[in-house]
Amino acid sequence: MFVGFPPGRPPEIAVSVLLQNGRIWHRRAAEVARDVLRAYFHERGRPGISDPVEAVVLKE
């Protein structure tokens, strides 16, 4: 289970994901939430959220 929202004042959107995965197929709820938020912001012409690893590399 994952519940969260992107930074903003006030938050523009909140997301809640609850998954029941089988033994073979595993996906984390946070990954699904990330994909939903990226799609949401992409539709609005904004970059959305970035991968934290990419953000660290860009700062070097």
Task: For the chain of 60 residues, list the mean pLDDT of each consecutive stretch of 10.
Answer: 86 89 73 87 73 49
Q: Are 53 and 37 within 8 A, CB to CB?
A: no
Q: What is the pLDDT of residue 22?
A: 62
Quick one: how far is CA 22 from the chain centroid? 22
Q: What is the pLDDT of residue 3?
A: 93
Which helix (DSSP H) or strand (DSSP E) does residue 39 occupy?
A: helix 29-43
Helix, strand, coil shares, percent, the chain, to 5: 40, 10, 50
Q: Where in the sequence is the domain holding 53, given as residue range(s)? A: 2-59
Q: What is the pLDDT of residue 5?
A: 86
Q: What is the pLDDT of residue 24?
A: 64
Q: Is 16 helix (H, G, I), strand (E, B) or coil?
A: strand
Decide: pTM greater than 0.85: no
